[in-house]
Amino acid sequence: MQTLFQQSRLFRHGLFWGSIFTFILLLQLISPGSDDFTWQEIFNGLLFSQFPVFLLYTYLFLYVVLPFFVNRKFVMGVAMLIGLIYLMALFTLIFRELYQSTIHPLLVGQPTRPFCSCIFEESVFQQQLAYYFVFIGMFAGGLKILQLWLQMQAESERLATEKITAELQLLKTQINPDFLFNTLCHLHTLTLRKSIKSPEVVLNLSHFLSYLLYESQKEEVLLQKEIEMIHNYVFLAKTHAQNNIDVSLNFAGEIDGKYIAPLLLLPFVENAFKEDKSLEQAWVSIDLWVTGGRLKFKIIHGTPPHITPEPAFQNVIKRLDLLYPQHYTLKILPEEELFLVKLEISLNEHTHPKPLQP
Q: What local confidence, expressed as pLDDT, does residue 134 receive?
A: 63
Ranges of residues in the chain with a pLDDT under 50 are: 1-2, 5, 277, 306, 309, 349-358
Do 152 and 178 sit in the same domain of this protein?
no
Residues 202 and 137 in one domain: no
Residue 3: inside a domain: no
- Assigned domain for 164 exists: no
Q: H helices of 99-222, where?
A: 104-108, 122-172, 177-192, 198-213
Number of domains observed in the structure of the chain: 2
50 found inside a domain: yes
Strands 338-346 and 294-302: antiparallel
pLDDT of residue 129: 64
Instruction: Check whether residue 82 and residue 178 sit in a common domain.
Output: no
pLDDT of residue 175: 61
Residues 340 and 201 in one domain: yes
Q: Looking at the structure, do residues 247 and 294 belong to the same domain, yes or no? A: yes
End-of-domain residue from the set 135, 159, 183: 159
Average pLDDT, the chain: 76
Strands (E), the chain: 221-222, 244-253, 259-260, 281-291, 294-302, 328-334, 338-346
pLDDT of residue 312: 60
pLDDT at 355: 43
25 and 89 share one domain: yes
- For residue 4, tell me if it sits in a domain: no
In degrees, rounded to 5, the angle at the alpha carbon of residue 204 between the alpha carbons of residues 185 and 284 is 85
The answer to whether residue 147 sits within a structural domain is yes
> For residue 73, what are the domain limits?
12-159
- Note whether 69 and 178 are same-domain residues: no
Identify whether residues 189 and 247 lie together within a single domain.
yes
Residue 6 lies in a domain: no
Q: What's the pTM value of the predicted model, to 2 decimals?
A: 0.52
Q: Tell me how far CA of residue 210 lies from CA of 4, 205, 214, 268, in angstroms.
A: 49, 8, 6, 20
Do residues 250 and 112 share a domain? no
